[in-house]
Amino acid sequence: MGKKTEALLAILQLQPVVPVLVVDRVATAIPLARALVDGGLKAIEITLRTDAALDAIKAVADEVEGAEVGAGTILNARQYEAAVKAGSRFIVSPGTTQELLDAATQSEVPLLPGAATPSEVMALREEGYAVMKFFPAEQAGGAAYLKSLASPLGGISFCPTGGITVKTAKDYLSLPNVICVGGSWVAPKALVEAGDWAAVTELAVQAKALATT
């Protein structure tokens, strides 16, 4: 196992649920991240789906003690480099291209590459990857589909993301080839807009507890 894989696993093994965040305003990023960390969710993925994303990543990396912030929805080498420069500790992509793999090879920051089919998983394994994002999880076949990959594609661990809820998370977390899940339910837009950080922390506590239920 390479150093970058070990570094990625060290982050993903911190908790059963990695919050997947769409941050519209940098001002909300720090209290939101603190609320999640206070609830036990230290690894946080901020997606590059808004103009505020890179500044939000930098703010969390610089100012939120205990947070392991990563960048999601990375689509190309330029975004990869920008996310690393902003302070991302890990990079997440919805799928995989040779450009992304080349960027990952040249960076010290590990990539969690997206895969949804056996062929994609096999191709990534040939590139040396043993930890992948299964996306879009629910739409691509859900926990039953991922369970069917465990035997023929042994040695591969997944972080399924996409459409997962607190109710379906347990189905994934019970699988031998799942290390954690990605979820947006721990930071609902309504709570974030209201600044109800105590409620976000409570959702984080409940998500953290999924590891023991």
193 is catalytic: no
Q: Which candidate in 45, 58, 68, 208 is catalytic? A: 45
133 is catalytic: yes
Catalytic residue from among 4, 42, 58, 133: 133
Please give the distance of CA 113 from its chain centroid, rounded to a whole number: 10
Contacts of 132 by beta carbon, 8 Å cutoff, 6+ apart: 112, 113, 114, 115, 121, 124, 156, 157, 158, 159
Intra-chain end-to-end CA distance of the chain, in Å: 29
Give the Cα separation of 92 and 178 in Å (integer).
16
Nearest to 45 by CA among 171, 159, 163, 193: 159
Instruction: Give the whole-angstrom CA distance, residue 99 versus residue 119.
Output: 18
Query: What is the token pair recorded at 115?
Result: 């895969």
Question: Which residues are tagged catalytic?
Answer: 45, 133
